[in-house]
Amino acid sequence: MTTPRRLLLVNGPNLNLLGTREPDVYGTATLTDVEQVTTDAAARRGFEVRAVQSNHEGVLLDAIHAAREDCAGIVINPGGLTHTSVVLRDALSGVGLPVAEVHISNVKAREEFRHHSYVADVALVHVIGEGVTGYATAVGRLIDILTGQAEG
């Protein structure tokens, strides 16, 4: 069986508001822009992307579980679930796929409660504070791991 050349892109709660929500923190790029940046970065390396965004944790969990069937890795911006969701962390761990964690803003320079990530210990790649272009960085690093060009 060959490894699928597909990544799952997961964007958590409130990321559908990109472009209008706190542009001083998150910029003016939209969720559509995020998906395009991610898709383009993956395509340059011969991968495709399936994208999901939801404000409902269970929808995200179901998408992560389904990724076991046809994805090689997961790029995720969990949004606020980063700091609160053990079940999201457990889903990522449970599927056994390499994970890249992305945050548009520098969460380490923001409120104290944003400094802890439940996803951090299951992610092989962490890209924080690079804006929307951070998604392309995460895709590149994750694909390097998947193709044996870097260690995870």
User: Which are the catalytic amino acids?
Assistant: 26, 103
Burial class (CB in 10 A: 0-12, 13-18, 19+), 111: exposed
Which residues line the annotated binding site? 77, 83, 90, 104-105, 114
- Classify 48 as helix, strand or coil: strand
Q: In what order do the strands lie in the sheet with 99-103?
A: 48-53, 6-11, 73-77, 99-103, 125-128
Which residues line the annotated binding site for substrate? 77, 83, 90, 104-105, 114
- Classify 136 as helix, strand or coil: helix
C-alpha to C-alpha distance for 69 and 66, rounded to whole angstroms: 6
Neighbours of 83 (CB within 10 A): 16
C-alpha to C-alpha distance for 87 and 17, rounded to whole angstroms: 24
Amino acid identity of 7?
L
